[in-house]
Structure 1
Amino acid sequence: MIYYWHKIIINGCGNITFLKIPTKIDSSRKVIHVDMDAFFASVEERENPQYKKKALVVAPDPRKHNHHGVVTTANYNARKYGVHSAMPAQKALDLIPSSELVLKDPNFTLYQEVSQQIHDIFSDVTDVYESVALDEAYLDVTENKLDETNTIKIANYIQQRILKETGLTSSVGISYNKFLAKIASGYRKPFGRTIVLKEYALEFMSNIPIEKFNGIGKVMQEKLHSMDVYTGADLQDLSQDTFLNTFGKMGYIMYRRINGIDEAPVNNLRERKSIGRERTFTQNLVTDEQIFKELKRISEMVSADLSKKRLHGKTIVLKVRDDQFETTTKRMTFQDYIYEQDDIYRIALDIYDKLDIVDKKIRLLGITLTNLDSLSFEELSLNLFSKEDN
């Protein structure tokens, strides 16, 4: 049985005590997280089969853009060389032998069309699905249009239809809550299918190093290490009192999740959230140095806001307004989530460079991150469970 704490204020004097109340894990839901495998790159490979044997990087060619450009995604061959989303495209060139490398400009119109096909399949399974981005979604299949009670069969149906209708592979995670389903979808990529049952949830998370928990930054890692906490099992050994006193609200969330509790619903009415900052300048920015300095400052603020709200996103929007009050916006979408300050800044610089502004008299700059989702565990390669444990 899992326990959690409620704060109680006594007599309004500010004295806080904690009341331990037993809570049973609700495992009645059936949640599937579908995550397309290297989506942008896979679409490009479908259109150009010769790319499958190459290290494909979806990014503007820096050799044609003054060594600028960032990676939106890379296929698995390219990832073997250490290439990942938000990396400078020039670094990808340095890491991958020229004989193996293929650089392809992103085609977001095509990606959106394919994404719509996939989401149409979701709607044939259930009306209760939450689209997180072009390439992933949560589905609550506790009740479903297939009248199927076996969640493995539902997951297999989704994967096979996606493969047949789009020629693309997906990985799925199955569990009783969103948090665990998302971890499971990254367990056996590509084309994987993994189940995490309630009775195995704690074991599943126990061997994960805390450095692999997305959202636990270096400062928190150092604090946990000072407490002799290095793995998920070590986290599970901490009392909720320790979590609350050490990490506050995030500690409460961490404690529940590390003990298999996540009651967040699959929200098919999910609003498109965004986090952004913009600055209006009393004196126009006229040099690259001024503009880059302000973009870095705004990137820091956006990253800090994301960290406070425990969010990350896949689309960055840059807003520029000149002295004639003409406003220009341009966006860039990535396969993987973005929240680090350096990544946001580098991407903002790349977008700004593409605007090709000649007469620099900038009155306003803004950076916004959209396609947001809660920080969760990173995709992991573990050897605890088979693809189909149920």
Structure 2
Amino acid sequence: MSENPQYRKIIHVDMDAFYASVEQLDNPDLRGKPVAVGGSEKRGVVSAASYEARKFGVKSAMSGLLAKQKCPQLIFVRPRYDRYKEISTKIREIFYDYTDLVEPLSLDEAYLDVTENKKGNPSASMIAQEIRDRIWDELELRASAGISVNKFLAKVASDINKPNGQKTISPEEVIPFLEELSVNKFYGVGKVTAAKMHNLGIFTGMDLKKKTLEELVKLFGKSGNFYYNIVRGIHHSKVKPNRIRKSIAAERTFFENISSEIFMLEKLDKIAEELERRMIKSKTKGKTITLKIKYSDFTQQTRSKTITEFIQKKDDFMPIVKELLYQDTLKNSVRLLGISFGNLDTEKKEPVWVQLKFDF
């Protein structure tokens, strides 16, 4: 950070095991027990796991079969997205009592810019605590929060004292915090990149900071510029109240694996109908159509095609989906199919964000 740092007050609120916690809220018999939302002990993938289940190593994106092996007493619950959305809306209403600068990332997390807020409270940490208290008092759900000078740091901080906790990284703490932070915990650094960094002797922010911008760009491409900046506490991305949607998708996991392309086309036709409904509802069109295929061995493949016109109707994009299906030989039986639209007509250039200086 510079001698005269310019910063904002950003809060990242992340609900604790949101889907599973809602299920435990609505069904007292599930409280205190290991719960997995989604999947089953034979099929599907876990969408969310309660903290009781996480103690056994159960986590999201894990197959239901493996989750059951790790936790034999695991209780599977079908997801109820309408209910999660209903509660998410109530949570956001609480956010809006403090600021209109709210950027939802999903149903269970959001960024808030409280640099200037409706309560006139100069302490972002106190606002975060008050929001978490209200979520518990009004909805009986727990949330964690991270508070700092930018979105990147707030996101990292929210994970430090989970569940039901919060962490503030003040301006003077930013650089020491980042230098000591393991690269595994840098938001935006995945497992593959972390492994590559480890092979290069980069284990902490301090190690990362020793690399020049030229070295990082050479090693990591465009991401190198991002890494160079964030380890120095530089991240100017603003909280976007009207977050631009990057893609719209629909997919389905099957009870039995499918090996016939004819049967796959039948399933894709139904998925396409759902995707068309979502596109029309969101008043969105797209140019890039992607077919997602997950095989019985859980390996995944995507095939995409970009066209010149924006489309949204099934009759227009289903022939492209069919073309993508037959584009290459399927290597195994299939357990999941999905179709998504990218390159949407909602995407546009981001405005330049100028930070202002306030007392933290």
Structure 1 and Structure 2 fold alike (TM over 0.5): yes
Cα separation, partners in 2 of 1:346 and 1:275, compared to 1, 3 Å: farther
Residues paired across the two proteins, number: 289
| Equivalent position to 2:340, from 364, 368, 372 | 368
Residue in 1 aligned with 2:331?
none
Say if 1:198 and 1:260, in contact at 8 Å, map to a contact too.
no
Structure 2 counterpart of 1:260, one-letter code: G
Counterparts of 1:34-183 in structure 2, within 5 Å, are 34-62=13-41, 67-98=42-73, 101-183=74-156
Distance 2:182 2:95 in 1: 33
Is 1:253 the counterpart of 2:226? The answer is: yes
Say if 2:250 and 2:272, in contact at 8 Å, map to a contact too.
no
Counterparts of 1:187-336 in structure 2, within 5 Å, are 187-217=160-190, 220-274=193-247, 288-289=258-259, 291=261, 320-321=268-269, 327-329=273-275
Residue in 2 aligned with 1:345?
294
Say if 1:188 and 1:194, in contact at 8 Å, map to a contact too.
yes
Structure 2 counterpart of 1:40, one-letter code: Y
Is 1:32 the counterpart of 2:4? The answer is: no
Distance 2:207 2:80 in 1: 44
Cα separation, partners in 2 of 1:328 and 1:158, compared to 1, 3 Å: closer
How many angstroms does 1:197 deviate by?
A: 1.3
Structure 2 counterpart of 1:36, one-letter code: M
In structure 1, stretches of 5+ residues that fail to align are: 3-22, 279-286, 296-318, 332-342, 350-361, 371-389
In structure 2, stretches of 5+ residues that fail to align are: 252-256, 278-291, 299-320, 326-337, 343-359
Give CA deviations for 1:44-99 in whole Å, capped at 9, x if unaligned. Answer: 1111223222111112434xxxx21111100111001111111111111111133x
Q: Secondary structure at the match of 1:125?
A: coil
How many angstroms does 1:275 deviate by?
A: 7.0
How many angstroms does 1:234 deviate by?
A: 0.6
Say if 1:320 and 1:329, in contact at 8 Å, map to a contact too.
no
How many angstroms does 1:203 deviate by?
A: 2.2
Structure 1 counterpart of 2:340, one-letter code: T
Structure 2 counterpart of 1:57, one-letter code: A
Cα separation, partners in 2 of 1:290 and 1:196, compared to 1, 3 Å: farther
Residue in 1 aligned with 2:284?
none
Q: Secondary structure at the match of 1:321?
A: helix
Q: Secondary structure at the match of 2:223?
A: helix
Distance 1:142 1:130 in 2: 14
Structure 1 counterpart of 2:6, one-letter code: D
Say if 1:176 and 1:197, in contact at 8 Å, map to a contact too.
yes
Cα separation, partners in 2 of 1:42 and 1:277, compared to 1, 3 Å: closer
Distance 2:293 2:177 in 1: 32
Cα separation, partners in 2 of 1:193 and 1:330, compared to 1, 3 Å: farther
- TM, length-normalised to structure 2: 0.71
- TM, length-normalised to structure 1: 0.66
Structure 1 counterpart of 2:203, one-letter code: Y
Cα separation, partners in 2 of 1:268 and 1:236, compared to 1, 3 Å: same
Distance 2:240 2:272 in 1: 37
Structure 1 counterpart of 2:117, one-letter code: N
Structure 2 counterpart of 1:90, one-letter code: L
Distance 1:104 1:276 in 2: 23
Q: Secondary structure at the match of 1:142?
A: coil
Q: Secondary structure at the match of 2:75?
A: strand
Residue in 1 aligned with 2:356?
none
Give CA deviations for 1:179-233 in whole Å, capped at 9, x if unaligned. Answer: 0001111110111111011221222233333344454456544543343222222
